[in-house]
Amino acid sequence: MNFWNTIDRPIIALAPMEDVTDTVLRELLLNAADPGALHVVMTEFVSTDGLVHKKARKRVIHRLQVTDEERKLLKEKNVKIVAQIWGNTPENYQQVVKEITEEMEFDGIDINMGCPVPKVVARGCCSGLIGNPSLAKEIILAAKEATTLPVSVKTRIGLKSVNTEEWIGHVLETEPAALTIHGRTQKQMSQGLADWSEIAKAARLRDQLGLDLPVIGNGDIQSLEEARAKCAEFGLDGAMIGRGIFDNPWLFMEEQRERTPEEKLEMLWKHTELFDRVWGDTKNFHILRRYYSIYSKGFYGAAELRAQLMQTESIADVERILNGIQITTCPDCPPATAPSY
């Protein structure tokens, strides 16, 4: 069954991001999300070439890990989880998709045809496939043939220049279960503003072809309110949110407010503790530093705290720093009661 067509509109999805949307971050976001505010989450993108080779597999298989606690939250909040994969060899897609379908508990599979990283594009993968539509179509059809799960595609509006209708026309010929479009070309990377009017062209083309599949927009969304407004303005079925979570880990809550210092530091500690519990020393602890800059801001002394956290090498370092700080909202305010870690 294509779950994409059973979700209430507008669909709100979490974008796949490397070294970001692992099971730890997804669990934190799901915990904070209000029921009905988030419909689909995606894994980090995983190389099909890596998964089919014994040695490389050990380096990438963790990207498909889902903890029991995350599974519980997905069920409680009725959120679907999709494995995102990338590569340029149809045979590898078939092997990987078959394995994901038969041995892992995912609700769908998404093909990455949008990552703009130059070294990946140079290999003819991800958004590099925009320049090779015949191979792109072969890959989508090979993946669909290997599974009973819905196979969706995430892509961009062009390679070096905008080419929305021609490129999306090729993709729609394969009738993916859903189509997510980031409103930039590969050349733009993350520069400039996403062009949602180009994403809207894809939805109109879908309608002209009489296809029954959701078209989802992606690019620069900072809130649920903005996501829903964009869907209404541009005639889309949903919106995918990526970098917005870096500014607001509570983004998937309906009622937004400024978080207290205590709440920010509590989330910081939860993230650190969960990362340590799930990954131990199998992942680089430095990955957490990008999040410390999110949690340690907006209160007096945050800059000094952030500087200290950026030097941490372990959970013990973080615990020592947090237990040694006093939280205040202004230079002359009395310290609040800091949580114990």
Contacts (Cβ under 8 Å, ≥6 apart) of 4 = 11, 108, 150, 152, 177, 178, 213, 214
Asked if residue 152 lies in contact with residue 179, where contact means CB atoms within 8 angstroms, the answer is yes
Active-site residue (options: 115, 125, 126, 231) = 115
Among 161, 165, 204, residue whose Cα is nearest residue 186: 161
Q: In angstroms, rounded to a whole number, what is the distance separating the alpha carbons of residues 122 and 129?
A: 10
> Other CB atoms closer than 10 Å to residue 187's CB: what's the count?
16
Locate 205 and state its tokens: 């083309």
Q: In angstroms, rounded to a whole number, what is the distance separating the alpha carbons of residues 100 and 107?
A: 10
Q: In angstroms, rounded to a whole number, what is the distance separating the alpha carbons of residues 323 and 297?
A: 17
Active site residue 125: no
Contacts (Cβ under 8 Å, ≥6 apart) of 253 = 32, 33, 34, 37
Among 120, 138, 203, 210, residue whose Cα is nearest residue 174: 138
Residue that is written with structure tokens 């380096």 in the block: 59
Asked if residue 46 lies in contact with residue 85, where contact means CB atoms within 8 angstroms, the answer is yes
Point out the residues that are catalytic.
115
